[in-house]
Structure 1
Amino acid sequence: MDGGADKNVRPSPAQRRWLERGLTQPGGKLPLFDQDGRKVNPTVIRKCLDHGWAEPWFANQLKPDWLVCKLTSQGRAILAQPGQAAISNQIRL
């Protein structure tokens, strides 16, 4: 995609969980690992990048294959849409 051109696209539950973690981090930094210590699926990260919900922050010199990303304004907007938080919370139960 071209950075979120399709306004009807919604994040999957996995994408939403990853993006939500950036809401509480300085600069909107997104985690490399989930709450259980497992590496976040690279497909989740790439899809969020494709939609413009996240953007690369910097290149990791020690682990060049790791994508260090941050939440974008489009990512914040998609998370703020009515009804979306309820869906995300139901899936976590």
Structure 2
Amino acid sequence: MAKSRRSSSRCTPSDVQGAWLRRGLDQPGGKLPLFDERGQRVKKATVEACLKAGWAERWFDNPLKPDWLVCRLTETGRTALDGHGHGDATPVGEPQDDARQGALI
């Protein structure tokens, strides 16, 4: 059986993760959006994978919507974006089940 390439040592975001993280580059404090360009909520798997990798961090709790993760880009995330697109690292695992989302990037 082939060994999975997915591990916690990955240092490059997937295309979907990178697109979400890049949206925080020009925002005050590196705030990451809750919704994508089409008005759809950013997938929880994307947010959680970026939190786990250290590319994003929880910023504050939203008392009106406690299930929403308000996050911001970290310095580690900025560094990971610098290397994004080189193809030399495996992206952090998240389901890539929405081909349309990748096409909009």
TM-score higher than 0.5 here? yes
TM-score, reference length from structure 2: 0.72
Q: Given that residues 54 and 69 in structure 1 are in contact (C-alpha distance below 8 angstroms), is that contact kept between their aligned partners in structure 2?
A: yes
SS in 2 for 1:24: coil
Structure 1 contact 19–30 (Cα < 8 Å) conserved: yes
Bigger relative CO (Cα 8 Å, ≥ 6 apart): 2
The alignment yields a C-alpha RMSD, in angstroms, of: 2.0
1:17 to 19, 22, 39: 19
Extract structure 1 runs of 4+ deviating beyond 2 A: 90-93
Answer whether contact 2:11 2:80 (CA < 8 A) is retained: no
Distance 2:104 2:38 in 1: 13
Contact 1:53–1:75 (CA under 8 A) maintained in structure 2:
yes
What residue in structure 1 maps to residue 34 of structure 2? 32
Contact 1:56 1:68 in 2 (8 A): yes
**Normalising to structure 1: TM-score of the pair?**
0.81
Which of these two proteins has the greater Rg computed from alpha carbons?
2
Q: Which runs of 5+ in 1 are unaligned?
A: none
CA contact (8 A) 1:13 1:91 kept: no
Q: Judging by fraction of residues, say which structure has more helix.
A: 1
Q: In the aligned structure 1, how far is the partner of 2:33 from the partner of 2:23? A: 7
